Structure 1
Amino acid sequence: MKPNSTRVSKEVIIFILRAADEIIGQGGRTLLAKILKGSREKKVLQLELDQCPVYGWFRSEKQEEILKKSTG
């Protein structure tokens, strides 16, 4: 079995799932990454996703890295 450099901790998985819960039926991976990144994009604010407890949790990371984490 080769090492997986994109492996994430259980804590990170919990944060991702918490954010995903907010967007059921409203968006997909990109919107999920925007919540976790802390985006101030119009759609994020209109849906009040900036109120999500894990909003901005991965603020210091690039959106593409957050997407990698959220897709396993």
Structure 2
Amino acid sequence: MSKKVRRVPVSLDAGEIKDLPQEDIRMILRGADELISTGGRSMLAKILKGSKDKKIFEYKLNECPAYGYYQDMKLDDIAKCIDWMIKKDYLRIEYDYRLPLLVFSEKGWQIEKETFAQEIYQRMCLDVKENKARVIFEMKEVNR
């Protein structure tokens, strides 16, 4: 006899948001990149808020370039932006057993690839200018 898995329900609420600026879309995707297939909407909202939650620091999510991007907004309003991103198919929700986790859609991944590559390029340029090789050594640890 198998036990029925009860998934945590997801209810999306984008509120009155009709559109988000391209920079906001990029930063939400950048924050989501740290959580893909491991975290959900509420953890992403905490990253974007700049939360002092101990899990944020435990997993070094405070080092994400998107950390604190929406520091002046309430968590509920940040959640609405994230829900808008899901409704507009930049992000999707997939279940791992019973928990809803964030994943990129094709559209969202195309934007994030470009953002991440630009970030690496800028950091490499700084390394060349400072005659250091930090990025090259960090890249050995990056999940392809």
Q: TM-score, normalised by structure 1?
A: 0.89
CA–CA distance in structure 2, aligned partners of residues 37 and 26 of structure 1:
19
1:45 aligns with 2:57: yes
In terms of fraction of residues, the more strand-rich structure is 2
Counterpart check, 1:30 vs 2:50: no
Structure 2 residue aligned with 1:5, among 16, 20, 23? Answer: 16
Identity %: 43
Q: Deviations over 1:18-63 (max 9, x none)?
A: 0000111321000000000000101111110000011001000000
Q: Which has the larger radius of gyration?
A: 2
Higher relative contact order (CA 8 A, sep 6+): 1
- For structure 1, list consecutive stretches of 5 or more residues without a partner in the other structure: none
Aligned-CA RMSD value: 1.3
TM-score, normalised relative to structure 2: 0.46
Q: Deviation of residue 17 (structure 1)?
A: 0.2
Q: Distance in 2 between matches of 1:59 and 1:25?
A: 24
Q: Which runs of 5+ in 2 are unaligned?
A: 1-14, 85-144
Segments of 4+ moved more than 4 angstroms: none
User: One-letter code of the match for 1:67?
Assistant: A
Equivalent in the alignment of 1:60: 72
